Structure 1
């Protein structure tokens, strides 16, 4: 938690020197890197559309599950093993991985739609706003300013993994589930900042693999979206249960 406290503290401390002009200050990003970022975010948008198609296919034919998850992981490993010069093949594998990932998230989206379709839209908008704000913060910040968070976030991710592993074996409480949910949301929001700055830094040193960089940001977006959606669905179900309890009390 200290990691994120330091991030927001540094943001508020630098608030005095931030202005509208500073938000447009991308002079530290060279034109080559700016072009690379445009390719990355365009590929990310295409991957998100592919994921939406995958979720829609699940709703139509109920294909989401373990197989689509394995297919998504397999597509990612295949993509990473393909040389960068095979650009078209790597883009196709990125779209396939996003499609299968969307189908894997499909059951959760379908559940949210059964409660209220606006939950999915709200989660998507909230995730997009958070992603855009933290990506923009990483871009206008000084180069390498937040890369130090990478080690701390990796530690947080390791904690989440072992907590999930322990709860799957020994069982877990609702309090532990909520902790994993909210702490995981903070971790992946932090990864948006770190990964954005890492992509910019790598591009400055000649790594212009926009497909791999788009895959990194897509993974962050999907992780944040899933957690926001679960939080909204659980909040909605708790609200419905409270309404039912009130109605039952009034009936009696």
Structure 2
């Protein structure tokens, strides 16, 4: 019975025509190429620092390229031109985030960077795959969850403006991460709806939208992991500071017993 249900769920995506399946494949292969170009841009900017010293020009290029992708008509004649513009935008995004990536390598926190990348790809792929095998009514419930998360994030941001606290900051980051994950569900569902209706998919625009979702997830996970790392380091410094204070107190009292050791039978001599 369970096997039959699993088969029925996976058959939800098997009713697509071969042409539509080919279009979906184009969307996700374009997304992979965008990710690759973004990583290449980040890598090259790290090897050639002069490329990352023009933040304003880079930002203008990203905005102009994004507008061009949406404005140009999705025809076969424009497909290659729009794809080149999309790759250029992803390259510029990679060069723009390179200074932030460099900071993690400089302070030896590249493990946080790798963990954020792996977690982002895992979350993105998981939510996209679940959307493809989930009935429509459950996706509608997810949209309601996204609206609730956005409303909660707005209220928390407003409260933080007047009463900033560490707890509210962490809660806001978690809700924004949840909203980014839900965005993957919504956008993937829209792509599938267009595919099932027989409409021609625009692989360039859909790939750009999904790439923005992935980047949003990555940034939020990176912020959460960095915040946790900083909090752990602060706790470690406070613990070492208290231990050092007790050690100085013990030296002043004339005893060499380590902190936490057995103090029975020791005569304390005050160095006055």
TM-score, normalized by length of structure 2?
0.75
1:93-242 matches, within 5 Å, as 93-113=85-105, 114-143=107-136, 145-147=138-140, 149-150=142-143, 153=146, 156-157=149-150, 160=153, 172-205=164-197, 206-242=199-235
Q: Which protein is bigger by CA-based radius of gyration?
A: 2
Matched, 1:34 2:21: yes
Distance of aligned partners of 1:145 and 1:227 in 2 relative to their CA distance in 1, 3 Å threshold: same
In 1, are the aligned partners of 2:16 and 2:195 still within 8 Å (CA)? no
Matched, 1:92 2:79: no
Residues in 2 aligned to 1:197 and 1:183: alpha-carbon distance in whole angstroms: 21
Residues in 1 aligned to 2:195 and 2:55: alpha-carbon distance in whole angstroms: 36
Q: Which runs of 5+ in 2 are unaligned?
A: 246-272
Distance of aligned partners of 1:177 and 1:104 in 2 relative to their CA distance in 1, 3 Å threshold: farther
Distance of aligned partners of 1:171 and 1:107 in 2 relative to their CA distance in 1, 3 Å threshold: farther
Question: CA RMSD of the aligned region, Å?
Answer: 2.9
Distance of aligned partners of 1:17 and 1:223 in 2 relative to their CA distance in 1, 3 Å threshold: farther
In 2, are the aligned partners of 1:144 and 1:197 still within 8 Å (CA)? no
In 1, are the aligned partners of 2:181 and 2:217 still within 8 Å (CA)? yes
CA shift, 1:144, in A, is 6.3
Distance of aligned partners of 1:120 and 1:42 in 2 relative to their CA distance in 1, 3 Å threshold: same
Encode CA deviations 1:32-67: one digit per residue, 9 max, x unaligned: 222112111111111111211232344341437454
Range with greater deviation from structure 2 (150-159 or 139-148): 150-159
CA shift, 1:105, in A, is 2.6
Distance of aligned partners of 1:152 and 1:23 in 2 relative to their CA distance in 1, 3 Å threshold: closer
Q: Which runs of 5+ in 1 are unaligned?
A: 1-14
Encode CA deviations 1:109-154: one digit per residue, 9 max, x unaligned: 2233334112111111111111111111011112464146446635
Residues in 2 aligned to 1:175 and 1:34: alpha-carbon distance in whole angstroms: 45
Residues in 2 aligned to 1:166 and 1:57: alpha-carbon distance in whole angstroms: 41
How many residue pairs get aligned? The number is 236
Aligned match of 1:3: none
CA shift, 1:108, in A, is 2.9
Matched, 1:49 2:36: yes
Range with greater deviation from structure 2 (95-104 or 54-63): 54-63
